[in-house]
């Protein structure tokens, strides 16, 4: 698996799947979640509501993931995962977000996937804490199908922290 780190807009990437740092109701909130819903168009929210109704879910549990079409995005799929809230949830669930998203991507024959920095925005997980979990999880995941993983950061500070942890903007595992 090749891991690349970029500063940019995840909604503009031409990859097989982008990961949405979703809220449990999959309704498009702020930050990455709102940006993905806005860029994908109204069909994404309709699909998320259908999934919750069909599965009789009161919300997507923390650490779990589901997949939808990308609709108006350049990515074929959106994988929605709910990260842990700092100080409330077990941070091990952050690793589950990445593993479950990768597993679903492989089940759908995705060869490329892009992740935001899950839970480091409004959910309050410090970036320095999150990146250690992310690197340990990605280096420990034996990808069978996924060849390219892109970590997409929004700020210069977060980009610098991720590059420091991974040893640069592009690494092979």
Query: Six-digit token pair at 169?
Result: 């903007």
Catalytic residue among 16, 33, 89, 158: 33
Look up 33 and say whether it is catalytic: yes
Q: Is 123 left (phi over 0), alpha (psi -120 to 50) or beta?
A: alpha
| Cα dihedral 169/96/16/60 (nearest 10) | -130
- Which residue carries 């690349």 as its tokens? 4
- In our burial notation (b when 16+ CB lie closer than 10 A, e otherwise), range 31-40 reads ebbebbbebb
- Residues tagged active-site: 33
């Amino acid at each position: 698996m090749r891991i690349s780190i970029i500063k940019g807009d995840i909604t503009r990437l031409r990859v097989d799947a982008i990961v949405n740092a979703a809220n449990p109701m999959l309704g498009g909130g702020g930050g990455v979640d709102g940006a993905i819903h806005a860029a994908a168009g109204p069909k994404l929210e309709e699909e998320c509501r259908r999934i919750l109704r069909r599965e009789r879910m009161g919300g997507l549990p923390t650490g779990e993931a589901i997949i939808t079409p990308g609709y108006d995005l350049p990515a074929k799929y959106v994988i929605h995962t709910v990260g842990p809230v700092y100080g409330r949830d077990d941070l091990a669930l952050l690793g589950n977000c990445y593993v479950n998203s990768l597993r679903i991507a492989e089940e759908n024959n995705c060869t490329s996937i892009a992740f935001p920095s899950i839970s480091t925005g409004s959910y309050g997980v410090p970036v320095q804490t999150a990146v250690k979990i992310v690197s340990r999880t990605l280096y420990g995941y034996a990808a069978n199908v996924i060849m390219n993983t892109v970590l997409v950061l929004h700020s210069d500070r977060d980009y610098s922290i991720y590059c420091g942890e991974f040893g640069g903007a592009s690494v092979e595992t």
